[in-house]
Every structure is written in structure tokens, then in C-alpha cells.
Structure 1
Amino acid sequence: MSLGSSSTPQGFSTFITNLGIKDTTDDFVLIKSDVSCAVDGVFTQSLFVGPSVTISRRNLKDNQAQGIVVISKNANVANGSVGIADAEEIIQLVANETGISPHNILIASTGVIGRRYPIKKIRTGLLGIGKKLTAADFNLAARGIMTTDTVPKLAARQIGNAKLVGIAKGVGMIEPNMATLLAFFFTDAAISANVLRSIFRPIVDKTFNCLSIDTDTSTSDTAIILANGLAGEVSEQEFARALQEIAHELVLKIAGDGEGATKIIEVTVDSALNYAQAKTVAKAIVNSPLVKTAIYGADPNWGRIAMAIGKCENELAINPENVVIRFDNIKAYPNILNEENLEELRQVMSKDKVNIHVSLNIGEAVATVWGCDLSEGYVEINGKYST
């Protein structure tokens, strides 16, 4: 989608450019609010985080922020004290140019690990940016944070007089253990930091934390929401519903743009003992390379779903005799599929979005997760990623 000015929350401005981080596409995004914002953020649980995560965690402690810097195509991870110094310098440069306190600037970075920023190019490129800020263009911002993404990812909603927009990037190294890749939300609704946190984190858990492309967790995963309050108060319930819709929309966009992906996979597990069990089983299915490749080839080998469920060896309450496996409305297990049934299943698995439904029949909990198929394209992209 393309976001028009009528859908843009008030009080935000942007500066997007190419600083020569890796290639000639935009690689630097600054999103600034006219006033300080209530803010919440969640980050990767990786033990190998970069300075962007460390610094943003620190700067979020007072629940206030006024700007976000995003650098794409270089993660600035595993660069030791030099990487930290470079990230701190970039924040200070932005602070000097915009008048924002360094402690109110957050930073995110994504791309190749173990490469230092071209800091001299960045210093030159940031001169005078305070005068180059323009009315917020979230379409360009969504494009500027891309790495191997093929399309920008953004979504927007209106809540009363307020607006909410979300942008995200991510197509690989996605098995979130907190939030996801990079995702940023901006609103002019007046929401306190405490309320923002109570709404944001459960939604992240049920959307971005239910997304998987390749079972690998990034060192730089960051999800942040800023509310500057300029449009006044809104219904908390309506705000939560709008945020849920945007997050879900972005998750589907990411799954559909997974590296080498040709299909979205949606797995729902119901009748589980609890949500954790339902999610464990669903993730085992969506993360299985054999399931992913079967869906890529539209191979009606439904037994791979049974195999994936069986790998959840700690879920001792699961009894295969109670389990029901469906693809759309086709019951694959328990059933004896004839050639006609298998051809119907092949047709279902040929769709752009493949829905797998598993009922454990031991409880009432439900979880839904999303992912994509696994094609030769994934190997091609990641076999040459750093070169």
C-alpha cells in the first residue's frame, strides 16, 4: 500500500537518504516527533546483540523518546568497542543537528554482521540534516529500512481523531524471541507509557512473535511504538484493535516476502491444554523444512505435519488418537486419502496461502502462527548475502 498524507499522524517529520552504507539505495532513516513521545519497545533476546539494541534499551528506561534513527544494510554487531563508539557518535551527531537530547534518540540497525559502519561517510552525510527534515513520508521510510526485502511494508488505521501507522522490514533470519526484525509504530494519539506497554507487548506476542521464516533469531530485532499525543485521547479498546490489525497485516506482508518465498503458511492449533502448548506445536509445523518444502512443491505429503507434531516430545499429553489434521476443509488425518483426495489436497497446497489446522482435542487453547515455504531462492539469496 501507499500511505497518503491524510493517513499520516501529525507532528512527525522524516529524513531519508543514502549514506553509502553498502550500495546506492536509501540506507538511513530519521523519524522525529515535534514533541517528546510516550514510548515502549521490545528487543531480541539474542546473547549477541549489537549497540543499537543496547543503547535503545538504555534510552527507553524513562519511557520517553523523540526520534528514531534506522541504519539498514549494516547491523553493526560484533564490532566491539568501536561499534559502540560509532553508534554513540551517530546519535550525538543527530542530536546536534536536531536539538533532541541524545537520551531521547533511539537507534536500530540491520544488515550484515561484523562489518564496521563507514563512519566517515556517515559523518559527512549527516551534516545539516536538521534543516533537511520534511513532513513525515512513511512510504519512503518503509523503503529506507529495507535490506533484502523486495517490497516496503506499511499499514495504517484511524482511531477517532488520531492516526496510527506501522512500518516493518524483514525477510530472513526471522524466528523472533521478543518481537521481530525491525518494526516501528507512530501515532498522534494520547496514550500513557504504562497503557502503551499493556497494549503493545501482548499484541507483539500474538503477532510478530508468532512469525517465522527460517528459525533463526536476529541479533538486532527491535519493535518500538511512539505516541506524541497531539491528536488527543482515544478509546484504548479501539487503539488496541487498530494496533492488532496493523501488526497482523505487517506479519502477513513479511511472511509473503520471505526470502525466496512463494507462499504464506498459516498454522492454527486448537483444543490444546494451554496457549504455550498450542504455539509450540504450531511453531514445530511452520518451522519444519520438510513441511516448508512440501508446501513449496504442492506435494500432498500430509504425514510431515504428523512428523512435526511428534517432535514436540515434551508435550506428553498429546495423544495421536485424538489429533485431527486439516488443510483448509480437507481432513488428512485420521483419514485414508484416495487419489482424488490427494489431488484435492495438492490443489489446496498450490494456493498462495496454505492454511493448516490441527486440533489436539485435549483442551480449549488456540494459537496461530505464520511463515512461508522454502524454495531454491532462499539458498540463492543467503549463499551470497554478504557479497
Structure 2
Amino acid sequence: MTDLPAGFRSYVTNLGIKDETDDFVVIACDAAVPTAAVFTQSRFAGPSVTLSRRHIANGMAQAVVVISKNANVATGQPGIDDAGTVTHIVAERVGCDPTDVVLTSTGVIGRRYPIDRVTAGLGSIPQPLPGTDADGPARAMMTTDTVPKLATASIPSTSGEARIIGMAKGVGMIEPDMATHISMLFTDAAINSADLDAIFRRVVDRTFNCVSIDTDTSTSDSSIVMASGAAGAVDLAAFETALFDVAVDLTKQIARDGEGANSLIEVVVDGAVDTAQAKRVAKAVVNSPLVKTAVHGGDPNWGRVAMAIGKCSEQPEDRRINQDAVVIRFGSDEVYPRQLDDAALAELSSYMSGDHVVIHVSLGIGAGSATVWGCDLSDTYVRFNADYTT
């Protein structure tokens, strides 16, 4: 069992939204603590996002909630009212102000909560919350995920050791416009709201914002970090490194678990004008259906990577990309401009069929670099999403 950091307690249950599996999570502290969050920029953002943006504005929260298997998006005023009802009941049971509750919701778009069943279930939340484990919440927040996603790290603190626990869900509708998925990170480090927010945004930009499954941005994306302070103060640089380690671990788990995926694709771009260009080119490669299907088929077709690089032309600096300066590698093997014969390419096929494929692109025009993660594209993805709501 993986325990939550000191100061946090949890409760999971089934509210009757779907089947018999747990579909509700609440994790809370005894008082409001420093909290940071980032949310989707979708113009169809759901009530859980718009409400939580307001609640988190002061940098403090006491409880975070996940309702799984129903997004409650595009449900009009009734859906907004339902979200408010959930936060008020949770606040009453936890013992806090409703504005100290952060609400997340994930699942099918366009359906209201079965609010009568939800309110009846919320009214049974135990006081105090009975759980201290992270495993139950990680399972309960799953929708189409095949496995729960957890990651941990620890760093020295003034009282000995501070811990960070992260959990996430997400395997489809993933292309960040902040952090495409739902993730919750908890630490017992003592860190103020301003520092926590600045660190978290830097970490998100290098991790959750660097994962893509299918180029689609969800309406419900939410990523939250809470700091109870129970373990005392920490070195901020060490904390940021540990938080990054947890977030990048979760990022890779999301990519590996992409709907129908067999391979984690890691695209490294260096030699770019700046980090923004490196990420833009890397995303063009990892999002290309032709690159994805080549990996799925174990085909070392570097021409598809060259194509993806070449279509980057929207920004002025992208016009500095010169095919004569570009180097493309699969793993450590250069495939362009070095020309491999058919026998050498055939040997690369086994690498391209592996569960972790690295595509390395050097642009040769600067010092910028970035790494992004995605997955292959299979017929299972198409079939699964064709049948999703039925």
C-alpha cells in the first residue's frame, strides 16, 4: 500500500454513476493548505473547471474531489448547479468552506450527474475521512485507463523527510493546453502558495504539457498540487526536482497506457532556436498519424519523421530549419542524412517494434531542446473510440 503524505486523508466510494466500480474520490486536510492548479483552456470547459478556477484563486484549498465516468460538461445551468451542490455537500462533510473544495470530473461529455444518487452517496461520507492510502483513489479516478497511475518521491526536510505522491488518469483525448488529463499531487513539505504555484507551472510545462495521445484537448483537464506542511520546510530547488520526477513518471505512464497503445514514443529535439521551437517540432513528430502507425508496424520509415519536421512553418524561426542540417535518429542509430541500406533498416525494425521507441531529431540551428511523449496508433484505438458511448 502507498500511503498519502502526512496530513492527508481520503475516501473512495461508488455513487452509482456507472457499474459497481468506485467513481468518487475525496482527499482532504484538516485545514486549508497551499494549493496550486492548472486547468484546460478549452472553450467548452465544464462546471468543475470554471468553479475550481474561482476556488483556487487565493492559492488555498482543503479538499479535492474527483467524480469519475461523468464529465458534467455542456449541461447548461443544471450542470452548474449540480457542481455547486457537490462542493457544498463535500464541504459540509469534510468541515470546510465550499470555496475550499476543488472539484474535478471526467467521463462522457453532455450528461448531467445522476444528482439524486450522487447527493445520497455524498451524504454518507464518513467523518473523519477513513483512508490514508493513495492506491484506492488512484483506482477510483480511472475511466478508460487499464491501470492506476501512481508515482512517489522524497526529499530531506527540517523534520527529516518530505514525501510527494502523485496520481493521474488519462489515456485518450490527450493533447495539452495545460495538462490534458486529471492529476493530483500531494506533499507534506511546507511551501507557501506563491512558490508552489510558480514551481508547479514550470513542472507542468515540462511534463504534462509534453504528452500527446491523439491531439485532442479535453474539456475537463485539471492538475492540482496540495502541500500540507506536516514534514517541515524543504530546499525549493530539491522540491522542484522531486516534483518534476513524479510528474514525468506520471506523464510516461499516461503515454504508455494510451488507448490501444503498444509502444511509448519519446521524441527528443535538440539544436533548435529555443525550447518553444523544439517542443513544437517534437509535437509535430509525435502527433503525426503516419509516424504513429509506422511505430505500430515496426517500420523504420524515417521519411515520415522528415515530413513531420518539414511541415513546421507557422513561426518565422521555423523557416530557419534546413534539411541539410537536420539529423534524425531512431534510438542511437542515425537514419538521416546517413543512408542505411535495406539490411540495416530491417535490423531497426525490431527496435521500432519495442515498447519504448526514441526518435531523436537534431535541427542544428541553436541550443534549444525539448522532450515529448506519446504512443503508437492502433486499430484498437479506432475501434474503442468508435464504440465509446455505447
Would the TM-score normalized by the shorter structure come out above 0.5? yes
Matches within 5 A, 1:189-228: 189-228=189-228
Aligned to 2:272: 272
Aligned to 1:371: 374
Aligned to 2:340: 337
CA deviation after TM superposition for structure 1 residue 80, in Å: 0.5
Answer yes or no: is the 8 Å Cα contact 2:173–2:180 preserved in 1. no
Answer yes or no: is the 8 Å Cα contact 2:145–2:171 preserved in 1. yes
Aligned to 1:56: 52
Answer yes or no: is the 8 Å Cα contact 1:31–1:136 preserved in 2. no
CA separation in 1, counterparts of 2:132 and 2:183? 17
Equivalent AA in structure 2 for residue 141 of structure 1: P
SS of structure 2 residue aligned to 1:66:
strand
Residues 90-149 of structure 1 show CA distances to partners (whole Å, capped at 9, x for unaligned) of 111111222111010010000000011000101111123133621322101000100000
Answer yes or no: is the 8 Å Cα contact 1:75–1:220 preserved in 2. yes
Answer yes or no: is the 8 Å Cα contact 1:159–1:234 preserved in 2. yes
| Aligned with residue 34 of structure 2, among 31, 38, 51 | 38
Q: Give the 4+ runs in structure 1 shifted more than 3 A.
A: none
CA deviation after TM superposition for structure 1 residue 180, in Å: 2.5
| Aligned with residue 12 of structure 1, among 8, 14, 30 | 8
CA separation in 2, counterparts of 1:299 and 1:163? 42
SS of structure 1 residue aligned to 2:215:
coil
Q: Quick check: 1:139 aligned with 2:142? A: no
CA deviation after TM superposition for structure 1 residue 229, in Å: 0.8
| Aligned with residue 322 of structure 2, among 319, 324, 327 | 319
CA deviation after TM superposition for structure 1 residue 49, in Å: 0.3
CA separation in 1, counterparts of 2:268 and 2:370? 6
Residues 275-314 of structure 1 show CA distances to partners (whole Å, capped at 9, x for unaligned) of 1111111000000000000000001211000010111023
CA separation in 1, counterparts of 2:279 and 2:238? 26
CA separation in 1, counterparts of 2:307 and 2:385? 27
Aligned to 1:300: 300
Matches within 5 A, 1:88-167: 88-131=84-127, 133-160=129-156, 161-167=161-167
Residues 12-61 of structure 1 show CA distances to partners (whole Å, capped at 9, x for unaligned) of 11110111112211100011112211011000011100000000000011
Answer yes or no: is the 8 Å Cα contact 2:35–2:225 preserved in 1. yes
For structure 1, the 5+ residue unaligned runs are none
CA separation in 1, counterparts of 2:179 and 2:216? 13
SS of structure 2 residue aligned to 1:129:
coil
CA separation in 2, counterparts of 1:95 and 1:225? 19
CA separation in 1, counterparts of 2:186 and 2:78? 31
CA separation in 1, counterparts of 2:30 and 2:95? 11
CA separation in 2, counterparts of 1:216 and 1:360? 27
Deviates more, 1:155-164 or 1:65-74: 155-164
Deviates more, 1:45-54 or 1:119-128: 119-128
CA separation in 1, counterparts of 2:152 and 2:215? 28
Identity across matched positions, percent: 56
Deviates more, 1:262-271 or 1:231-240: 231-240
Answer yes or no: is the 8 Å Cα contact 2:94–2:128 preserved in 1. no
Answer yes or no: is the 8 Å Cα contact 2:294–2:301 preserved in 1. yes
| Aligned with residue 25 of structure 1, among 18, 21, 37 | 21
SS of structure 1 residue aligned to 2:176:
coil
Aligned to 1:80: 76
TM-score where L is the length of structure 2: 0.97
CA separation in 1, counterparts of 2:128 and 2:13? 10
Q: Quick check: 1:70 aligned with 2:66? A: yes
SS of structure 1 residue aligned to 2:312:
coil
Equivalent AA in structure 1 for residue 274 of structure 2: N
For structure 2, the 5+ residue unaligned runs are none
Deviates more, 1:332-341 or 1:358-367: 332-341
Aligned CA RMSD, in angstroms, stands at 1.0
CA separation in 2, counterparts of 1:313 and 1:195? 36
CA deviation after TM superposition for structure 1 residue 250, in Å: 0.4
TM-score where L is the length of structure 1: 0.97
| Aligned with residue 362 of structure 1, among 365, 375, 389 | 365
CA separation in 1, counterparts of 2:93 and 2:237? 38
CA separation in 1, counterparts of 2:261 and 2:309? 23
CA separation in 2, counterparts of 1:329 and 1:228? 43
CA separation in 1, counterparts of 2:362 and 2:34? 41
Answer yes or no: is the 8 Å Cα contact 1:15–1:132 preserved in 2. no
Answer yes or no: is the 8 Å Cα contact 1:212–1:370 preserved in 2. yes
